[in-house]
Amino acid sequence: MPENGDLRELRRLFHRNPEPGWCEFWTTAKIVEEIERIGVDEIHVGPDAIDSEQRLGVPDEQELSSWMERAKDELDDHAVLDEVAGGNTGVVAVIDNGEGPCVGLRVDIDALPIDESTDSDHAPAAEGFRSTNDGFMHACGHDAHITFGLGALEELSNRDFSGTFKVFFQPSEELLGGGKAMANTEHVADLDRLMGVHVGLGRQTGAVVAGLDEALALSRFDIAFEGESAHAGLAPNDGQNAVQALVTAADNMYSIPRHEDGVTRVNVGEIRSENAANVIADSATAKAEVRGGSTQLMEYMKEAVYERLEHAAGMHGCELDVTVIGESIRQDCDEEMVDVVYETAVEIDAVTSPSRRDALGASEDATYLMKAVAESGGKATYIGIGASNPSGHHTPTFDIDEDCLPIGVSVLSRTALSLLN
């Protein structure tokens, strides 16, 4: 097992600099810097690491620019930053030892729009590595995930093996925006085995779950109806009422038939149309999502929602614009990979509570990479690394027991080696 000192420093470095999805400019550059320090055979950055066309939920130009400026202020060398401009973040690092299997590890690198606690009980605050980007925070442990990726690279770079080892530093997981874009690359196409990984999730340090899955597939979208304004008193007939379109749509979205094959979900979380009371609304927007117990069920719901949206717009003379801003599928873990990880984990002393399988209990877009691997005949799993947390994920006092860092690196690197040798 590696020494924790360097891993801890790495993790704290990234913890201090959280960036949201598609804005991980500093993060990407810093990862590249670390990879270069380690020394690998190939580094693919930005548009070479992802399929730009497949990105979902990319922020607007203004937000991208603001984060880029911040990154430029922080870094002297702008070479990597220039490569990732426009929200093309992410890295793929490759150690290529020739003939042999191709094994991948996927970690995610983005942070959340949460204002980190300044409480003295909160270790990052007390020990001086609290977020320096106000309003943003690594509140889901992706700082640890980056550390796992770099740690595993370092471990593998010192070992003899036949084949190829790749680490995928995926952007924009929180938005469910980057998985599809990274899955759709040649880097994934030749993988024989893939490990995804998540820290924490309510499990204590020492716990390792070899296969986490059964997530609901999820699609999130922004909806906009554009109609025509009119004076509600003088000429209500002149309007094309976007509020009525939205009301009819929402109404009919909630009543999409349940499905014989399993769980479905639908929600309209946000509705907005701001006007005076006497104005017939010419525009109305909503944020909505659908989920399914399988990718097919999610797609059944999504298609049904689209049908309702289109006809609600048509019924009320409105134009409709729908943008998918995040999506994840369901892809369960391969039993053979679960075996390999489990058998590796039980051999590690620090792993005091190994287990085979459990439910993930959240959506995750690593599933796109897992599915791509499975479709080309490979095998994948998604591994849970326990980390005693003082507070739940996505809260301002989220933190991880840093003892999880060497455990994670060990489990991942040893599994990789066992697959490569």
How far apart CA 99 and CA 396 sit, in angstroms, is: 47
CB closer to its own copies, 53 vs 277: 277
Q: Based on CB atoms, which residue is closest to its own copies, 160 or 260?
A: 260
Q: Based on the number of CB atoms within 10 Å of its own CB, is 289 exposed (0-12), middle (13-18) or buried (19 or more)?
A: buried
Integer Cα distance of 17 and 20 in angstroms: 10
Dihedral sign (CA 283, 287, 291, 295): positive
Q: Is the CB of 132 or the CB of 255 nearer to its own copies?
A: 255
Amino acid present at 323: T
Q: Give the span between the Cα atoms of 143 and 36, in whole angstroms.
A: 19
Report angle CA 67, 71, 72 to the nearest 5 degrees: 115
Report the nearest approach of its own copies to the CB of residue 313 (Å): 8
Task: Tell me the closest approach of the beta carbon of residue 269 to its own copies, in angstroms.
Answer: 4
Please, which residues bridge with residue 290 across strands?
Answer: 219, 266
**Closest C-alpha among 95, 90, 152 to residue 365:** 90
Please say which residue, 346 or 359, places its beta carbon nearer to its own copies. 359
Nearest approach in angstroms of CB 268 to its own copies is: 5
Torsion of Cα atoms, 73 then 76 then 77 then 80, to 10°: -20
Instruction: Report helix angle 404-420 to 142-157, nearest 10.
Output: 50
Nearer to its own copies, 48 or 358 (CB): 358
* Contact residues: its own copies, CB under 8 A: 216, 218, 220-221, 232-239, 241, 243-244, 246-248, 250-252, 254-255, 257-261, 263-281, 284, 287-289, 291, 300, 307-308, 310-312, 314-315, 317, 361, 363
Tell the smallest beta-carbon distance from residue 165 to its own copies (Å): 35
Instruction: Please classify residue 111 by burial: count the beta carbons closer than 10 Å to its beta carbon, then call 0-12 exposed, 13-18 middle and 19+ buried.
Output: buried
C-alpha distance from residue 407 to each of 12, 31, 109, 353 (Å): 17, 21, 19, 12
Q: Which is nearer to its own copies, 28 or 295 (CB)?
A: 295
Q: How far is the CB of 156 from its own copies (least distance, A)?
A: 36
Pairwise CA distance, residues 36 & 79, whole Å: 13
> Going along 36-101, which residue ranges are E strands?
42-45, 91-97
Nearest approach in angstroms of CB 311 to its own copies is: 4
Q: Minimum CB separation from its own copies for residue 386, in Å?
A: 21
Nearest 5°: phi and psi at 380? -140, 155
The nearest distance, CB 315 to its own copies, in angstroms, is 4
In the chain the first and final C-alpha atoms are separated, in Å, by: 18
Which CB, 227 or 406, lies closer to its own copies?
A: 227
Q: Which is nearer to its own copies, 175 or 351 (CB)?
A: 175
Least Cβ distance, residue 223 to its own copies (angstroms): 10
**CB nearer to its own copies: pick between 152 and 245:** 245
